[in-house]
Every structure is written in structure tokens, then in C-alpha cells.
Amino acid sequence: MRFTFIYLASQSPRRRQLLEQLGVEYQLLLPDEGEDTESIEAVVGNEPPAAYVKRVTALKLDAALQRRKRRGLAAAPVLCSDTTVAHGRIIYGKPLDAADAQRMLAELSGKTHRVLTAVSLGTERKQVQVVSESLVTFATLNRQQIRAYVATGEPMGKAGAYAVQGRAAAFIAKISGSYSGIMGLPVFDSAQLLRSVGVRF
């Protein structure tokens, strides 16, 4: 079966931008009011970062497929993605507040960490998944730099409390891997998945 569009189950403007870059037609499939999306992202026990991001993305896809069916929408593949920052086995999700963002940035300062983005794509009949892993090296940051960056509000809602495409670029000494994956949707890997389920673009 061939598809001319997909559903994107993400509120991230960066993921929309990256799909548009590929020329993929999409419709947003956002959660219903009152739908519990936060609990999906809770870490279970001493879960390794790669297992965590795979599980969360698969759960997001399951929820989105149910949402599409509940709303009686036309059949088309659904794309979900989740990005997490990890240093060793420590998972850095979205900061709870400014103090939490400052803590994360201080811990990542002067170190190389991993950014893992899982992409799950599928219909009720076929589901595929890929994980992109990149390495990001931060320069050593002082307290003033960290406080000033957090004060911009940019770290809020971002895994690891930073946005690679934003002001945090000034802190990043080196990247190895997928820049778009660090942004939240690895373009090459996503294109492969889309073609594998029959999406035309």
C-alpha cells in the first residue's frame, strides 16, 4: 500500500520542520485534552537509556494509533519520536524547573554525552522503529553562563535542558552523529522508515 501523507503525533515544531525539509505531507495527531502523556515518559527502575527511549516511543505510537482509530480518521502511518540525553546510565529528560535545568547543564559541562532519538512509525498492521545515537561534547561552562542561558527559557521542555539549534550551539565543542537526530528527528533514518512502509515523498 502507498500513502501520500502521515500523521505526526508530536507537538515539536522542530519535527514538523524536519518533515517539511524532506517534503513529507503530514497531519498533526495531538493528544486529546485529559490524555495522560506525561506518565509514558517516566523512567522505569534502573532502565538503560536506549531501552528507555525505545519503550517510550513505542508506547507513544500505541497511544497515537488508538487516538487515530478513536477519532475515525483515514488510515495512514503514524510517526512518533522521543529524544533523551544520557551520560553513562543517567537519563536527562526535560527539566522540571529552572533549578533543575541549571543542575543538568552543570553536570553535562565539559563532558561528552549521548543523545538518543527513537523513531517509531506504523499502522495497526505494521510498525517499525529505529534509534539514532549521537555524541555531543560540551565546553566547560561557568555558573554565570548556565544561569544566563536558563534565563532565556530555551532549556525548558528540552531533553538535557538545551536546544542544539538554539543558543546552546555556542556551548557545543563537538558533535559526532546526526545533527537532525539531536534536534529530535534523524532525517536519514526517518526517510528510510517512511519508504519502508510505503510513504511517497
Which of the four pLDDT bands, split at 50, 70 and 90, describes residue 10? very high
CB within 8 Å of 193: residues ≥ 6 apart: 119, 121, 128, 129, 130
What HEC string does the chain produce? CCECCEEECCCCHHHHHHHHHHCCCEEECCCCCCCCCCHHHCCCCCCCHHHHHHHHHHHHHHHHHHHHHHHCCCCCCEEEEEEEEEECCEEECCCCCHHHHHHHHHHHCCCEEEEEEEEEEECCCCEEEEEEEEEEEECCCCHHHHHHHHHCCCCCCCHHHCCCCCHHHHHEEEEECCHHHHHCCCHHHHHHHHHHCCECC
Considering 32, 36, 62, 82, which one is annotated as catalytic? 82
Q: What is the CATH number of the domain that holds 78?
A: 3.90.950.10
Task: Specify the pTM.
Answer: 0.93
In a domain, 95, yes or no: yes
In a domain, 141, yes or no: yes
Average pLDDT in the 121-126 region? 92
pLDDT (tens digit per residue) in 49-102: 999 999 999 999 999 999 999 999 999 999 999 999 999 999 999 999 999 999
Count of domains forming the chain: 1
What's the domain range around 106? 6-196
According to the model, what pLDDT value does residue 37 have? 75
In a domain, 1, yes or no: no
Contact 134, 115 (CB under 8 A): yes
In a domain, 201, yes or no: no
pLDDT (tens digit per residue) in 176-194: 999 999 999 999 999 999 9
Known active-site residue 189:
no
